[in-house]
Amino acid sequence: MSASIPMINPQPRAATLHGLRPDTLKTLPESFLRAEPRQTRPLRIAVVGNHLPRQCGIATFTTDLCNALVADSAASELMVVAVNDAQSSYAYPPRVRFEIKAEDPSSYRAAADFLNACNVDLVCLQHEYGIFGGKSGSYVLQILRHLKMPVVSTLHTVLREPDHDQRFIMEEIAALSDRLVVMSKHAARFLQDVFRAPEEKIDLIPHGIPDLPFVDSAEFKQSFLLEGKTVLLTFGLLSSNKGFENVIHALPRILSGHRDVVYVIAGATHPHVRIREGDRYRIELQALAKRLGVEKNVVFFNRFFSPQEMTSLVEAADIYITPYCHEAQAVSGTLAFAMGAGKAVISTPYWHATELLDDGRGVLVPFEDQDAIVSAVVNLLEDGTRLQAMRKLAYFYGRDMVWNRVARSYMQTFEKACAGHIQSVSQGYPVQSIAPHIASLMGNA
């Protein structure tokens, strides 16, 4: 770690078990409780973030990353500290050893005490502002301030124009983490330019994807009652910034020359959106399709898909579309998934798409431009050679994003974090004074 980044907790301290359930430690493997010398290759890893069956993109990512680390034998033991949203509980798998209540500030300190007591070699934090409690997710700093092991933070959102609190929190995460993982070049640049994170602390590791075969979509259509159809697919949790209405607006003109086309919108409404407004966006999309006379050509799968189901659905698609409305999207797991399956992709030019679809790996269309969507779809459907070439370019590019390779990259980052942490502790860098701002963000909780 660079000497310019202040270290927190340079000396070990005695861990307390504030707020733990009495039976919590009984569920842990004995080796989590043994005191052993630190090493540069972490064997006991804890991941902090959302986890399936909670329904969100971070939960899916955390689950997939953990599965990959275990499958690759990268970690001899791995556990998860899961963040629960308000008034929710989940039937987690055994790897989830501790649960944080998002809006309870005391549970964040309890989680840090728990991890310290378990003699974990390294903590990997999955950060997204919206999953943690407090103003702009400030409660997450209660964990980071009290951990005594190396920390690697995966940053799912890096903003180009953060507000004051968002800027402060991200700068503190950068200071309190030994390594920072981003998934796009845009995010790496913003992290340096906007949040003053040192370049040598940042690792670019792509969003992981399953290792899927390159297949003919026709083989998978029957199970979704899509035989004989040309399938345009969008999937992911629904919210009104996704721009799906622009594809529906484009359908009448697409269908005028390609009557077998169907547009599949797969996924449940985002749980947080459902709390605020119910299924309003889906209802509006259904009404739009009916008004335009294309309701029979728009298929809604209104549920949260398991990874296995989603794989089959993506394989059934002929063209994948992400018509998102805003540029500021640093990463899209659904886009990475579709590319890894070798799909021809049409997308608006949000940050992640401009990187992944460069060099002919997909088609970019302007935001909210229905004419451009019509043209892009029709051109691909009428030029099979170009469509197949695009599929192959996407597929081969995606080989570097498969989960086993991503897991190995994470382990390399973990090893660098451990080595840097040991060196920093021996040098005894000073602790940064951040208490006043922390107190204001957390309401003196």
What CATH code is carried by the domain that includes residue 144? 3.40.50.2000
**Considering the domain boundaries, does residue 362 fall inside one?**
yes
Please name which of 54, 50, 56 lies closest in space to residue 236, comparing C-alpha atoms: 56
Residue 250, in any domain of the structure: yes
Confidence of residue 275 (pLDDT cuts 50, 70, 90): confident
Task: Give yes or no: residues 94 and 143 share one domain.
Answer: yes
Based on the fold, state whether residues 390 and 416 are members of the same structural domain. no
Q: Rounded to an integer, what distance in angstroms lies between the CA atom of residue 384 and that of residue 373? A: 17
In a domain, 199, yes or no: yes
Query: Using one digit for the tens of pLDDT, what is the confidence trace for 183-195?
Result: 999 999 999 999 9
Question: b/e string for 2-21 if b means 16 or more Cβ within 10 A?
Answer: eeebbbbbbeeeebeeebee
- Residue 13 counted as domain residue: no
Q: Does 196 share its domain with 274?
A: no
Number of folded domains that form the chain:
2
The two structure tokens encoding residue 280: 């309003």
The domain containing residue 201 runs over which residues?
25-208+403-441
pLDDT of residue 10: 30
More confident residue, 204 or 435: 204
> Considering the chain, what percentage of its residues have pLDDT values greater than 70?
85
Amino acid making up residue 376: A
Name the least confident of 54-68, 238-252, 272-286, 313-327. Answer: 272-286
Mean pLDDT in residue range 324-341: 90
Instruction: Work out the average pLDDT over 250-265.
Output: 97
Asked if residue 425 and residue 390 are part of one domain, the reply reads no
Tell me the percentage of the chain whose pLDDT exceeds 90: 72
- Better-scored residue on pLDDT, 30 or 148: 148
Looking at the structure, do residues 240 and 303 belong to the same domain, yes or no? yes
Query: Which pLDDT tens digit goes with each residue over 349-401?
Result: 999 999 999 999 999 999 999 999 999 999 999 999 999 999 999 999 999 99
Q: Strand, coil or helix: what is 209? A: strand
